[in-house]
Chain A
Amino acid sequence: MTDDIKNGAETADIEFRGVSRHFGDVIAVNNVDISIPRGGFVSFLGPSGCGKTTFLRMIAGFEQPDSGDVLLRGESVVGVPAFKRPVNMVFQHYALFPHLNVADNIGYGIKQVNRKISKKELATRVGETLEMVRLPGFQERNIWEMSGGQQQRVALARALINRPNVLLLDEPLAALDRKLRRDMQIELQNLQREVGITFVLVTHDQEEALSMSDTVCLMKEGRIVQTGSPQDLYKEPLSPYVADFVGKSNFFKGISEGAGAVKLTCGRIVEGRAPLTVELPPKSSAAVVCVRPEMIHIAAEGNKGASEHAMYFTGNIVNRIFLGENTEYVVRIDELGDVLVMSSRLSEASTGTFEPNQSVTIGWDKDATLIFADT
């Protein structure tokens, strides 16, 4: 099976064919087939230890596959060392050379390839690249004089100046604070559109992956479990694992009744639908029902609103987490256990806020209910 992103086999920048990589007994990458088209922004998302970094390092050439083939623009690069590959990487902690100033760091790659480049030409290109990452005039600065965000941009410039076929980003924003991370997310997206080369990002932060990339590959234990647009992954997850990792979800176990209904362990029957391209579990088999917390309506008990939905339950609030734009409630329902509900400020304008220990009714619609086979 090949996950062809946008059927781009001919214009693929990167192609993996049955690639596996083991470390001792641990399988880091397990028989992965994927084709990444030219000019996209692809994220590899997954928890630590899922093999995403090994995957990236095999593209860079720091790791070689145990089996399978890695192709860059149609040519196998198995056995080709990192310094001969037309890809560049932005390292997690930037890995800028502390004994060189900003200009020498950025010019490093060019000087390796073209040792006879004139100082003037090199200076021009370094200057252009610094302007691209919005650090004009920083040529003579020392690395240790710069803040994390500035170092990040130097690392970007050092990679981009070589005009690689592919830019690899290894958790590039992990070391930045929240506000700066937001700015860099937008900047990276703009930069990618500007230079038009393929960006491959590896991250464990779902927000980073969803916000920046046009394709997300979710990984689990060395395999890619779902490839698609951020919207697809969020709205049509192929498995409970995806629904759990991308965004937040409530899961309820039960037995499939067939025809889009599940009898929960408490005895209540809920109706729902299977995600697109996924089959409903057969009748009488174990099933899992998934409901996103923001799709659940919450209202004070006895108050109409929540009880108008297809499914509704009554319980007590045990916890409230104020997040600014949203509030998260944990509601204890006798039949279901603890349910996470997210309420926006807009909806709270009509329902009001709720206090811990308050009795509430929660409800959701059939469309908001996804049904998976329980494996």
Chain B
Amino acid sequence: MKIYAIFVYAFLYLPIALVIFFSFNAGNYALDFQGFSTRWYAKALTNPFIMDALWFSVKVAALSAVMSTVFGTMAALALQRLSGWKRTFYDALIYVSIMVPGIVIAIATLIALVTVFKFLNPFLEVLAPLFDGQAPKLSLGFVSLVAAHSLFTMSLVVVIVRARLSGMDRTLIEASEDLYASPFRTFVQVTLPQLMPGILAAFLLSFTFSFDDFIISFFVAGPNTTLPVYIFSSIRRGITPEVNVIGTVVLVGSLILLFSAQFLSTMGKGKKRSASKDDSDDS
């Protein structure tokens, strides 16, 4: 390997290796290694702020991944049936939403949500008598964050499921209908199992994207704190090995999810190829 290539990899991965290394630091300062210890792991995992932020992040990521997977898959199926300029147009919209910088989406989502809340809240006042004079009020928080993350990750789901769908053999659907299965049963028994690896991969990717997201969460989470937002604010108070611990744990978790997503999205394809490969060796 060329020497500069080694430098590129070193530049990319050494900092990450250092984060993992210093998470086992016994000392009080992030970059002053005082010996091996797991005490910061114990400390981080018993810190209520961290655990609250972690739990909140997991809830948001899980719920938004479920929603984006369901709606994204539906959108992918619908887009598959469009043709001509309509398909090109909506496809373009999907890709644009992936390429638009996160900060733009964050600001746009914030403005949109605040505007909608401002418009709707006066109407909700009417309901005050039903709630002992305290009218329900829409505000930023868990629900708005889930909604924002769902929309943001939905385009990823659409792209992944569409890829799987376009690689699927359309005659399978005809074969199922030819064998007396109604369109609904065909969907459940043939289309869905065929798409499942793609759908699962999309779910895991949505989960990771939502879990890792800082920018949108920072703008839209309201009073709540997600894990990335917590880390950001705690760094301002000085870097402790605790941050390294969180970093390491999140890294390991993300890697597991990403590798499973990768594994799932390629699963089944190899088998399919070998099935159509050889026609000659009938026994």
A contact residues vs B (CB 8 Å cutoff): 60-62, 81-84, 87-89, 91-93, 95-99, 108-109, 112-113, 142-144, 146-151, 158-159, 162, 175-177, 180
Contact = CB atoms under 8 A, between A and B. Distances in A.
B180 A180 contact: no
Nearest to A82: B177
Given A91-B171, A176-B279, A180-B279, A144 B180 contact: no
Contacts of A96: 175
Contacts of A142: 271
Contacts of B32: none
A109 B181 CA distance: 7
B283 interface: yes
What are the nearest 5 A-B pairs in CB distance?
A148-B279, A149-B282, A144-B275, A109-B179, A95-B175
Contacts of A146: 275
A83 B174 contact: no
A82 B183 CA distance: 10
Interface in B137-189: 169, 171-172, 174-183, 185-186, 189
Contacts of A158: 179
Contacts, number: 96
Contacts of A147: 278-283
Given A112-B179, A112-B180, A158-B179, 20 more contacts: A82-B178, A83-B177, A83-B179, A83-B180, A83-B181, A83-B183, A89-B174, A95-B172, A97-B176, A98-B271, A99-B194, A109-B180, A112-B185, A143-B275, A144-B272, A144-B274, A147-B278, A148-B279, A149-B279, A150-B283
Instruction: Summarize A's interface: helix, strand, loop or mixed.
Output: mixed
Contact of B275 (A91, A149, A151): A151
B178 A83 contact: yes
A180 B280 CA distance: 8
B170 to A, nearest CB: 9
A60 B175 CA distance: 10
B46 interface: no
B276 interface: yes
Contacts of A93: 169, 171, 276
Instruction: Summarize B's interface: helix, strand, loop or mixed.
Output: helix
A176 B281 CA distance: 10
A91 B175 contact: yes
B190 interface: yes
Contacts of B275: 98, 143-144, 146, 151
Contacts of B185: 112
Interface hub of A88, A143, A148, A177 (most chain B Cβ within 10 A): A148
A177 B272 contact: no
A148 B181 contact: no
B122 interface: no
Interface in B193-251: 193-194
B268 interface: yes
A158 B179 CA distance: 8
Contact of B268 (A60, A91, A98): A98
Contacts of B174: 60, 62, 82, 89, 91, 95
A82 B186 CA distance: 12
Contacts of B172: 95, 97
Interface string B258-279: 0000000000100110111011
A182 to B, nearest CB: 12
Contacts of A92: 171
A364 to B, nearest CB: 40
A97 B190 contact: yes
B83 to A, nearest CB: 13
Given A62-B174, A144-B272, A88 B282 contact: no
A95 B268 CA distance: 16
10 contacts: A61-B177, A62-B178, A83-B177, A98-B194, A98-B272, A108-B176, A109-B179, A142-B271, A159-B178, A177-B279
Nearest to A148: B279
